[in-house]
Structure 1
Amino acid sequence: MADALGTRWRQAGHEVVAGSRSRGGFGEAAAFGTDAVLLAVPYAAAVDVVAGLGAALRGRVLIDCTNPVGSGFALLTAGGPAAAERIAAAAPAARVVKAFNLCHEDVWRLTPPVFAGRPLAVPLCGDDAAALAVVRRLVRDLGCTPLDAGGLDRAGLLEATAALLIGLWLGEGADAQAIAPPMEFAGRRDRPLQSGPNGVPLRSGGTA
């Protein structure tokens, strides 16, 4: 993820520094990140990594692309705080935005990620308006479209979506994109809601 996204951002004109335990320190990379710091480590190490960076993340936009997905495509954070919220708690001086967690690294290497003429949409969750503006620009620099998915308290929904999609793609070999209808069929706002069986809301003329 770091190489795929970093390479594309470098091509877009950004200066990029990568840090790892074996090639350049995490602290050096975090201190360099004047625009943003991408946290692209296994989820199991994410909290410890950001906690160890301390002051290097103060005021930084910290982009969390981790996925807490374990054996059997299970969501490791089910019933508790989302991964992004745990990362934010471990780095309280950083401005955390959840993004880029729904696609395999190969998707980010596409120039640009456009499918059937439609640019890939990237949902973002975060609480800091200025941080979200930075990440939106980075999304657009990839040729993608940023989507506001709410505050960081909704990051768990993105992480659960990733667990579902990964399970469908890898476990079932399914075309997971086919689970969502086109926008014109997703919700007709020109018809009033009615109550269907068991109180399920239906659009006029719709079915359960």
Structure 2
Amino acid sequence: MSTISMIGAGTMATAISGRIAKAGHTIEVVNRDSAKALALTEKLGSRATTGTYGAVPTGDIVILAVPYSGAAAVVADFGEALDGKVVVDITNPIAPDLSGLVTPFGSSGAQEIAQSLPAGAHLVKAFNTIFGHVLAKGGCLDAFIAADDADAKARVSIFLESLGLRPFHVGGLQMAQTLEAAGLMMIGLAKNGAGTWDFALNIDRC
């Protein structure tokens, strides 16, 4: 098994980290607030460690599990420490009033973050179409991913499979625009049409 680094200690970070630990991976939790990182580490058990914010992450796969509004600052704080890493962006760049996405026209949160990464880092969009509490329940869920680098996409796919998820490639990183729109749609559906947050997007192959 491998080491995965988690930047963040919120709801999604906790849900993903739980599946990582159950899958037998070692997980490094990193957060600007070290007390929150330590609290999550203790919750995860013996396979979890606490990393130093801004230092080179231990894992080759680094999950950026912070709100989109703070993602640029986090990437800037780590800077070259992320060089050579596969960075998984889980954010949904949604306006506070849910009126739409806050990214520039023709771009996505993932593409904006990718532009700020070191040249040797590769960004993969994933997890943004799965609600944290649904992910935490376990079970087989579909995870849609977008990335430009074939090797990074393959490594994240293998990682997702190890968590009991079914990875589906949707295309290059430009397709993150569509995934983020899907994330907004799911929130709108939960608040309006579905009347529940207990659902997920899945491919029916029957």
TM-score of the aligned structures, taking structure 1 as reference length: 0.76
What secondary structure, in the 3-state scheme, does the structure 2 residue paired with 1:71 have? coil
Report the counterpart of residue 128 of structure 1 in structure 2.
149
Report the counterpart of residue 66 of structure 2 in structure 1.
41
Contact residue 125 and residue 176 of structure 2 kept, 8 A: yes
Change (3 A) 1:181 1:100: closer
Matches within 5 A, 1:50-129: 50-73=75-98, 74-77=100-103, 79-93=105-119, 94-112=121-139, 119-129=140-150
Deviations 1:102-158 (A, max 9, x none): 11111121222xxxxxx3211110011111111111211221111011000111100
Change (3 A) 1:152 1:179: closer
1:47 Cα deviation (Å)? 1.3
The amino acid that maps onto 2:148 is: D
> What CA distance in whole angstroms lies between the structure 1 residues aligned with 2:162 and 2:118?
28
Report the counterpart of residue 145 of structure 1 in structure 2.
166
Contact residue 128 and residue 180 of structure 2 kept, 8 A: yes
> What CA distance in whole angstroms lies between the structure 1 residues aligned with 2:115 and 2:71?
12
Contact residue 86 and residue 152 of structure 2 kept, 8 A: yes
172-181 vs 144-153, which deviates more? 172-181
Contact residue 129 and residue 201 of structure 2 kept, 8 A: no
> What CA distance in whole angstroms lies between the structure 2 residues aligned with 1:179 and 1:152?
20
Report the counterpart of residue 188 of structure 1 in structure 2.
none
> What CA distance in whole angstroms lies between the structure 1 residues aligned with 2:95 and 2:204?
31
The amino acid that maps onto 2:22 is: Q
Report the counterpart of residue 19 of structure 2 in structure 1.
8
The amino acid that maps onto 1:123 is: F
The amino acid that maps onto 1:169 is: A
Change (3 A) 1:127 1:179: closer
> What CA distance in whole angstroms lies between the structure 2 residues aligned with 1:107 and 1:166?
13
Specify every segment of 5 or more residues in structure 1 that has no aligned partner in the other structure, as ranges: 113-118, 185-208
Specify every segment of 5 or more residues in structure 2 that has no aligned partner in the other structure, as ranges: 1-11, 35-50
The amino acid that maps onto 1:99 is: A
Contact residue 9 and residue 138 of structure 1 kept, 8 A: no
Report the RMSD for the aligned CA atoms in angstroms. Answer: 2.4
Deviations 1:19-77 (A, max 9, x none): 1111153324x52112x000000100101211221111101000000000123322112
> What CA distance in whole angstroms lies between the structure 2 residues aligned with 1:64 and 1:26?
17
> What CA distance in whole angstroms lies between the structure 2 residues aligned with 1:181 and 1:20?
34
Contact residue 142 and residue 203 of structure 2 kept, 8 A: no
TM-score of the aligned structures, taking structure 2 as reference length: 0.77
The amino acid that maps onto 1:128 is: D
The amino acid that maps onto 1:49 is: V
Identity %: 38
Matches within 5 A, 1:144-183: 144-174=165-195
